[in-house]
Amino acid sequence: MDVSSFDPTYECALRLDRQDELSSFRDDFYIPEGTIYLDGNSLGLLSKRAEQSLLEMLESWKKLGIEGWTQGRYPWFDLSERLGEMSAPLIGASPEEVIVTGSTTVNLHQAVATFYQPRGGRTKILADELAFPTDIYVLQSQIKWKGYDPETHLVKVKSRDGRFIEEEDVVAAMTDEIALIVLPSVLYRSGQILDMKRLTEEAHRREILIGFDCCHSIGAIPHALSEWGVDFAVWCNYKYLNAGPGGVAGLYVHRRHFDRTPGLTGWFGSRKDQQFDMAHTLTLAEHAGAYQLGTPHILSAAPLIGSLEMFAEAGIDRVRRKSLQLTHYLIFLIERELIGYGFMIGSPLEYHRRGGHVYLEHPEAARICKALKANGVIPDFRAPNGIRFAPVALYTTFEEIWKCVQILKEIMETGLYKQYENTRDVVA
């Protein structure tokens, strides 16, 4: 990526926008008026295509009633499988290995219930101390269900600096007591990408199963989960994939595990041709669809149709290329414009280690975020002292990045942030 042409002028931002090969996609999105929206790693914006696919699904319900399960443009009965097929290129898997279902937390429960099988001396789960809380709650719960104590059977890799996890430390923790490893693909605070390929190879060399929470990587970076041999992965679709609040999540299972019985079972995991036999003997689907539980949330899945169609056009490699340009440009401006204001960049500076957002640390982060919002910039606060900026390749402009940094500089120069309490809102 050529960043040698970056300079701190407004004209540079405009020139970068003129060169942007994805600029036309911005017109597909509803950008909140008067805002610079940089919170796409928490909730992506609504696109016209996602809106249209939702409206089409409502129309199907209105006109077809129950016949919508098998008729209409998007029949509901196999919608989860069709969305899995559309998602597969983004996760680097075959269509049969991906299903759109449940939520991240439910899918992680499903995966851990399936793949955490303590035997002999292998009774522990390995995670990391910077993991998103829901992952830890799931692991603690699953360990209890298996009759063990999370205090002793959940091993968390320590961070050396409170920002990053070193792969060497993860590998060192892969002892012969570990039965399963669950890690984030991208750390939700710092945006660090973990080397999934290397960690999978190291885990399998020790006969340990490994899965990843890809919530902060899906739609932002390319994956090759099947090629890398990752055993399973889970993710949400409402961040970079812009599927809407509470949008149905995703689950990947490597095909070598298709003969496993899922730890949790429900009737939508049936073979499609036998599901309505209503037998009390479950005949599982012979692919990732077996990991479904109950009836899919059709209206919550519908916006993802339009979103994934857009990603198919844009291409994840082009999305990644622009995402890196945007985050590097943001870091470039921060380093030049915000010197002396107490900010520290808490994201990796190396391209290959940085996901889709930039993490700034400041002792007054909560009140700075409030001041930014009051001035039209929508960031994301993460306790205790973090500000996340997520420029999204499909709708964020370089001009917006430039303006964001100028607004932040003015807030610091004038002390405007001091008008606000340094405490988080209920929803941060």
Q: What is the CATH number of the domain that holds 365?
A: 3.90.1150.10
Asked whether residue 135 is marked as a ligand-binding residue, the answer is yes
Q: Which of 124, 239, 367, 370 is catalytic?
A: 239
Asked whether residue 109 is marked as a ligand-binding residue, the answer is no
Q: Tell me: the pLDDT tens digits for 148-173?
A: 999 999 999 999 999 999 999 999 99
Asked whether residue 69 is marked as a ligand-binding residue, the answer is no
The pLDDT score that the predictor gives to residue 25 is 98
**Residue appearing with tokens 């680097």:** 92
Does a structural domain hold residue 275? yes
**Cα gap 222→113, rounded to integer Å:** 27
The pLDDT score that the predictor gives to residue 5 is 81
The pLDDT score that the predictor gives to residue 403 is 98
How crowded is residue 156: how many other Cβ atoms within 10 Å of its Cβ? 16
The pLDDT score that the predictor gives to residue 424 is 78
Asked whether residue 123 is marked as a ligand-binding residue, the answer is no
Pairing of strands 377-378, 36-37: parallel
Q: Residues 196, 345: one domain?
A: no
Asked whether residue 238 is marked as a ligand-binding residue, the answer is yes
Q: Does residue 388 sit in helix, strand or coil?
A: strand
| Final residue of a structural domain among 313, 344, 360 | 313
Q: Residues 335, 285: one domain?
A: no
Report DSSP letters for 59-87, one per residue: HHHHHHGGGGGTSSSS-STTHHHHHHHHH
Token output for 71: 């008729």
Does a structural domain hold residue 208? yes
DSSP 45: P
The pLDDT score that the predictor gives to residue 1 is 52
Asked whether residue 132 is marked as a ligand-binding residue, the answer is yes
Asked whether residue 389 is marked as a ligand-binding residue, the answer is no
Q: Residues 162, 303: one domain?
A: yes
Q: Residues 135, 19: one domain?
A: no
- 132 an active-site residue? yes
Structure-derived torsion over alpha carbons of residues 346, 223, 352, 392, reported in degrees to the nearest 10: -50
Q: Residues 78, 23: one domain?
A: no
**Cα gap 373→367, rounded to integer Å:** 10
Query: Hey, CA dihedral for 183, 188, 194, 196, is it positive or negative?
Result: positive
**Cα gap 174→42, rounded to integer Å:** 31
Q: Residues 346, 283: one domain?
A: no
Q: Residues 134, 219: one domain?
A: yes
Q: Which of 77, 132, 258, 332 is catalytic?
A: 132
Asked whether residue 114 is marked as a ligand-binding residue, the answer is no
Q: Which of 238, 240, 311, 329 is catalytic?
A: 238
- DSSP bridge partners of 186: 193
| Final residue of a structural domain among 261, 288, 313 | 313
Residue 68's CATH number: 3.40.640.10
Q: Which of 39, 213, 231, 380 is catalytic?
A: 213
| Final residue of a structural domain among 290, 313, 336 | 313
Does a structural domain hold residue 96? yes
- 388 an active-site residue? yes
Asked whether residue 128 is marked as a ligand-binding residue, the answer is no
Q: Residues 286, 327: one domain?
A: no
- 146 an active-site residue? no
- 197 an active-site residue? no
Inter-residue contact 297 to 248 (CB < 8 Å): yes
Domain count, the chain: 2
Q: Which residues form the domain of 114? A: 51-313
Asked whether residue 262 is marked as a ligand-binding residue, the answer is no
**Cα gap 174→141, rounded to integer Å:** 21
Q: What are the 10-residue block averages of pLDDT along the chain, 428 residues in total?
A: 82 97 98 97 98 98 98 97 98 98 98 97 98 98 98 98 97 98 98 98 98 98 98 98 97 98 97 95 97 97 98 98 98 96 97 97 97 97 95 98 98 96 78
Does a structural domain hold residue 226? yes
Does a structural domain hold residue 155? yes
Does a structural domain hold residue 335? yes
Q: Residues 17, 57: one domain?
A: no
Q: Residues 234, 89: one domain?
A: yes
For residue 212, the surrounding DSSP H or E stretch is strand 209-213
**Residue appearing with tokens 């994956």:** 223
Q: Residues 342, 285: one domain?
A: no
Q: Residues 127, 25: one domain?
A: no
The pLDDT score that the predictor gives to residue 4 is 73
Q: List C-alpha distances in Å: 359 to 41, 186, 187, 304, 325.
A: 11, 12, 11, 27, 16
- 370 an active-site residue? no
